[in-house]
Every structure is written in structure tokens, then in C-alpha cells.
Structure 1
Amino acid sequence: MKHISLILLILFTVSCKKEAQTTDSTTETIITKTDTVYIETYKGEPIKTAKELKAELTEKGYQTFDYVDEKTQDTILMQQYFIAFLKSGPIRSQNEEEAAKLQEAHLAHLGRMYEEGYADISGPFGDNGDIRGITIYNVPTLKIADSLANMDPMVKAGRLEIEIHPWWAAKGFPLR
């Protein structure tokens, strides 16, 4: 009788549980089951349809377009981003200590741009050429991207110059 009561208690607990979550660790997608309704999320945010996302982006002033992939027949939503090329500036005569302080402030600026959602990715080039690195800004206009890029302490000091171009990428496609 004791075993039957324990089994019934376990079955009752499992059957009354309102939510069950499964996690796919490669994409961090969580599917939450509430009774029979599934809500797919990515990092805790509901995944929107392309139509919903396009409407949201358009409302915020972003440029978008979509197309149908011939192979998969999926609708792909493209968004305009702004890629900033950080080029060697005319004033590179700072001593080692000044350059190190500028580099620290530069990295703090880029970190802030990422944390506040203005920049999606940044990084230096490895060839020591004239173009030192890039930042991809996820903002609605060239004017905003230019303003944010020119707030960089390295740019203000003349050690770097900015060249910005509009750049299109598919929403939700990760780097590989």
C-alpha cells in the first residue's frame, strides 16, 4: 500500500506540472510546454515570425526586405546594418603610455556599444594594414552609426578614422 501511494503521488506530481522545458544546448533554444501550447524562445526571448520581426524593425526605422530562398522556400528577412571600418588616423604620434590608455578607452567604448545593443560584433584585422578593424552597428540609420563610431576615444584622438558603409545581412543567421 505504501508503494502504491508513493507511485500515485509521483504520477500526480508529474501530471500536474504546468511547464516542461527542453533545451538544445547548441542553439540555446528552449521550448516551453504549457498544457498543449508550445512557445519557442531563444535566450529567454520569444522567437518572432519574419512578418512580426519585419513590422517591429520597420516601426523602429530600420531598412529591411525579404525574399524566398529558392532551395528551402523559406522567407529570409534581410536587415540593413552599418559596417564601420576603423582605419589608421593621421595622429599616431602618441607615446606608448598614451597609446595604451587610448586602447583601454577604445575597448571600453566598444564593450559599451555591444552591451547597449548598438554594435553586434567588433574586432581587429590581423594584417597590420591601413584598415585596423571593423564594428558592425545594429542601428536604424547611417547618422546614428556615424555618431556612435565617432564617440570612440581613438577616433577623437585622431589615432583612428571611421569609414562607414551600409551592409545587408539575413536576420537570425549566426556566424560560422
Structure 2
Amino acid sequence: MKKSLSLFFFLTVSVIGFSQETDAKYDEALAKSLHADEYCMKKYVFCLLKSGTNTTASKEESKKLFEGHMKNINKLAKEGKLVVAGPFMKNDRNYRGIYIFNVETIDEAKILVATDPAIKANLLEAELTPWYASAALQETLKIHEKISKKKMQ
């Protein structure tokens, strides 16, 4: 009897817990500021960075170009044009990294890609694709700044 009562209590609590709807806290002002559609989604351009055709650059030249690459990433992020960037780990596909641009068209992204010294020098090659994802992705950099102990160069 004690087991049956315990089982009944557990099932009742479980059913009540699962049947309650979550109280969504829709923030219309935030959604509008992020240009979210009714699904809290928006258009971006996904950029896959691959090894480029320039294989003759010296170490010094490559270092200087990649310093410019990092400065450009930081500039685009501060302007709100770049919401995510990062390198891939070593792989056999020549994939080097990604950008997610906060623009709606490939043409807009091409203009941004053209500002990257490593791409201009053909150390990297950019492959651009339209992408539809959460508008909340734009908030990533704000969170990143709050949890970073060191700043990226």
C-alpha cells in the first residue's frame, strides 16, 4: 500500500509538472531591435574560410597578414557586422574557420570579406552561403565580453 501511495504521489506530481505550460517572456522591443521575424529568426550570411591559393608567403608576411585578419575581425564585430568568428581545429579538408555575418545578402558579405587582409592576399578563401538562424545569435558578443578573462588580439 505504501509503495502504491508513493507511486500515485510521484505520478500525480509528474503529470502536474509536465502539464504546466512554460511562461514565455516575449520581449517585443528586443525582438524588434534584433530584426527578428515572428519565429525570432533572421537572415545572416555564413562564411566558410578555407586555405587559399597563396602558399609562397613568408612566415613574416603571413604573421603580418593574420594580425590584420584579427584586427579586421575585431573591427567588424564592434560594428555589429560579424556575430561569430573562429578557427577550426586541424582537419583534412583545409577548413580554417568561419564567419557569421550580420547581413542579409551575399553581396553585402562580399564587401566585408574584401576588408580581410588574409583573404585579399589569398592566404584564405571565403565561401559564402545565405543562412537563416536565431536572431538571438547577435547577443553572443555581449555575453562573450562578460565571460572573457583575456581579450583576443
**With structure 2 as the length reference, what TM-score do the two structures score?**
0.65
Q: In 2, Cα distance between the equivalents of 1:110 and 1:51?
A: 25
Which structure ranks higher in relative contact order (CA pairs < 8 Å, sequence separation ≥ 6)? 2
Shift of 1:170: 1.6
Q: What is the Cα deviation at residue 65 of structure 1?
A: 4.4
Once the two structures are TM-superposed, the CA of residue 150 in structure 1 deviates from its matched residue by 2.1
**1:50, 1:77 within 8 Å by CA — same for their partners in 2?**
no
Runs of 4+ displaced beyond 3 Å: none
Mapped to 1, the partners of 2:30 and 2:59 lie a distance apart of 52
Question: In the aligned structure 2, how far is the partner of 1:108 from the partner of 1:51?
Answer: 29
Name 2:66's counterpart in structure 1. 103
Q: Match for residue 4 of structure 2?
A: none
The answer for the alignment partner of 2:103 in structure 1 is 139
Displacement of 1:141: 2.1
Decide whether aligned partners of structure 1 residues 95 and 52 sit closer, same or farther in structure 2, where only a CA change above 3 A counts: closer
Higher normalized strand content (fraction of residues): 1
Q: TM-score, normalised by structure 1?
A: 0.57
Partners of 1:89 and 1:109 lie apart in 2 by 18
Q: What amino acid is aligned across from residue 28 of structure 2 in structure 1?
A: T
Q: What SS is found at the alignment partner of 1:172?
A: helix
- Report the alpha carbon displacement of residue 123 of structure 1 after superposing the two structures with TM: 0.3
Aligned partner of 2:78 in structure 1 is: 115
Aligned length: 114
Distance 1:53 1:94, change over 3 A: same
Displacement of 1:50 in angstroms is 7.0
- Helix, strand or coil at the partner of 1:140: coil
Structure having the higher Rg: 1
Structure with greater helix percent: 2
Could you say which residue in structure 1 is the equivalent of 2:118? 154
Question: In structure 1, what is the equivalent of residue 49 of structure 2?
Answer: 86
Among candidates 53, 64, 69, match of residue 32 of structure 2:
53
Distance in structure 2 (CA, Å) of the matches to 1:90 and 1:122: 21
Q: Deviations over 1:126-168 (max 9, x none)?
A: 0244110001000132211111012210111011111001111
Structure 1: segments with no counterpart, 5+ residues = 1-46, 58-63, 67-75
Gap runs ≥5 in structure 2: 1-25, 141-153
Query: How far off is 1:92 after superposition?
Result: 2.0
The percentage of aligned residue pairs carrying the same residue is: 34
C-alpha separation between the residues in 1 aligned to 2:123 and 2:72? 15
What RMSD over aligned residues (CA atoms) do the two structures have, in Å?
A: 2.7
- Does structure 1 retain, via aligned residues, the 8 Å contact 2:104–2:130? no
Relative to 1, partners in 2 of residues 1:77 and 1:125: Cα closer, same or farther, differing over 3 Å?
A: same
Gap change, CA 1:140 and 1:92, over 3 Å in 2: same
1:22-71 superposed Cα distances (whole Å, 9 cap, x missing partner) = xxxxxxxxxxxxxxxxxxxxxxxxx95179618x83xxxxxx643xxxxx
Task: Work out the CA distance in 1 between the residues paired with 2:30 and 2:61.
Answer: 49
1:169 matched to which residue of 2? 133
